[in-house]
Amino acid sequence: MTSVAPATWLAEALAPLGATLGDRLRFTRSGRTARWTYNGHAAEVEMRADDRIVARFCAPAAFDAVSRQLVTPVYVRYSAGYALDRGGCERMVADMAAFFAGVREPRFTFVDA
C-alpha cells in the first residue's frame, strides 16, 4: 500500500513530538512498523491495509508479582486505529505525547502485558 499523505503535513503533524520531547525521543523503523521511544515508554505504529494506523503504547517493564517476571504493559487508544489523514496523525501524535508524559487510564485502555 502506498500512502498519498503529503510529506509537508505529515512532517508538521509529527513536529510537536520533537519540539516537546527533544533529543531523548528516539525513532526506529522495521518494515511497516515505526517505533518512537522516550524514557522507557514506546509507541509502536503500524500501517494496516485499510488506510488506518494502529498504535500500541508500551509502558516500561515492571515486575509482576503473580508471574514473578518483568512484563510490559500495553495500551491502545482506539482499537480501530487512526485514520491515515492529517487529523488522524495529529490525534495519534497528541496521544503519543500524553502517553510519554505518563497519562494512562481512562484515556488509554490496557490490553496486554
pTM of the model: 0.85
pLDDT in tens, 40-77: 999 999 988 888 999 999 999 999 999 899 999 999 99
Percent of the chain with pLDDT over 90: 64
- 111 vs 13: CA distance, rounded Å: 26
Q: What is the pLDDT of residue 5?
A: 52
Q: Give the CA radius of gyration of the chain.
A: 14
**Higher pLDDT residue, 6 or 73?**
73
Kindly state whether residue 17 falls inside one of the protein's structural domains: yes
Kindly state whether residue 1 falls inside one of the protein's structural domains: no
> How many domains are there within the chain?
1
Kindly state whether residue 2 falls inside one of the protein's structural domains: no
Kindly state whether residue 65 falls inside one of the protein's structural domains: yes
Q: Is the dihedral of CA 77, 70, 102, 30 positive or negative?
A: negative
Q: Which domain holds residue 95?
A: 7-112
Kindly state whether residue 98 falls inside one of the protein's structural domains: yes
Please, which pLDDT band fits residue 1 given cuts at 50, 70 and 90? Answer: very low
- 107 vs 101: CA distance, rounded Å: 13
